[in-house]
Structure 1
Amino acid sequence: MTQVPLAEGLFTWPAADPALIAGRASDGSLTFPYRSHRLVGGAREELEKVELPRRGTLWTFTTQLFRPTSPPYAGDDTEETFEGFTVGYVELPGALRVEARLTEPDPAKLRIGQEMELRIVPLGRTKDGDTTMIYAFAPVQEEASP
C-alpha cells in the first residue's frame, strides 16, 4: 500500500521534517497553498516557492462533529463511522495563519497560544487503495518542570 499526498505541492514529503509550501510575492506577502502566480499591485506576478515554519502557535480552534460534505471531503469514512476532529488556525511566526486539522481530538487538551508542530497524517484511501496523507498540527509536548 502506497501513501500519497492529498494534493501535490502542499508540503514537502516524504521528508524527515516536512514543511508546508507557500508562494512569496515581491512585496513579501505569502500565499498558502502555493500557486505559481498572483496579482500584486494590479500586476500578475510569478511567486517564489518558500517553505513555511514547522512550528507556530494555536490562534483559534473548534470541533468538527459532523461529516463534512462531499465533494471535496476526501475521507473514506461514512456517516456511521465518522469520528469528530478538531480544526484550527495556527499562526506561523513571520509568515501567516494556516487552517489545518489538529491531531488532538479532545478540545479540553488544547488552548489558544499553545505551541504546535506540523505533522503529515493519514486521511483516507484513494479509489486505488492508496493512503491519502494530509497536513495537520500537533501540540508540542511541554517539558515538565523539575
Structure 2
Amino acid sequence: MTDQVPLAEGLFTWPSEDPALLGGLASDGTLVFPYRPYKLVGGVREELEKVELPRRGTLWTFTTQRFRPPSPPYAGDDDADSFEPFAVGYVELPGALRVEARLTEPDPAKLRIGQEMELRIVPFGTDATGNQTVLYAFAPVEEASDGTE
C-alpha cells in the first residue's frame, strides 16, 4: 500500500479525521490562505498566527473545467484521453474568506450558488516516489428530503 501525501505541504491539517485548511491571521484581523508566515500590515512586516479555517461554507461561484489543463503546472495522473471534467469554485468560509477549490461534484446541474459545502481531502495523483497525492476539495452537504441536514 502506498502512503497518501499532500500535493503541497502546509495547505491543510494532515493526516486528520477532521481536516482543516490552514490560514494566517494578522493582528488587524485579516486572514490569508494558504498560510504564509509573514504579511505586510500597515507597512510593517508582521508574523502571522497559523489558524485552522472553518470546514464548512457556502458556494459563492463555480465553473467547470472541461479540458485537461497544461502540464506543468497541472500534476494529474490522467492524459487528454482519460481526463474527466471537474468543477472548481469559490467557497465562502463564514467569518473568514473565500477559498478557491476543486469541487467533488462535477455535474453543474447539481451545484447552486449559496449551497452549503464541506471540506474533503481527495486523491489526486501519484508523486515521483509512488505515493498517492491528496488535495483539498469541497463537497455539497447532503440535504434531507424535508430540507434539513
TM-score, structure 2 length as denominator?
0.96
Note the 1:1-146 alignment, pairs <5 A: 1-145=2-146
**Alpha-carbon RMSD:** 1.0
3-state SS of 2:109 partner: helix
Alpha-carbon offset, residue 28 of structure 1: 0.4
5+ unaligned residues in a row in structure 2: which ranges? none
3-state SS of 1:108 partner: helix
Write the distance in 2 (CA, Å) between the matches of 1:60 and 1:128.
36
Residue type at the aligned position of 1:88: G
Q: Deviations over 1:77-120 (max 9, x none)?
A: 11111111000000000000000000001000000000000000
Write the distance in 1 (CA, Å) between the matches of 2:113 and 2:51.
27
Residue type at the aligned position of 1:61: F
Alpha-carbon offset, residue 138 of structure 1: 0.1
Write the distance in 1 (CA, Å) between the matches of 2:24 and 2:73.
23
TM-score, structure 1 length as denominator?
0.98
Alpha-carbon offset, residue 128 of structure 1: 1.5
Taking every aligned residue pair, what percent have the same amino acid on both sides? 76
> Which stretch has the larger CA shift, 25-34 or 73-82?
73-82
Structure 1 ranges of 4+ moved more than 4 A:
none
Write the distance in 2 (CA, Å) between the matches of 1:64 and 1:9.
25
Write the distance in 1 (CA, Å) between the matches of 2:140 and 2:81.
28
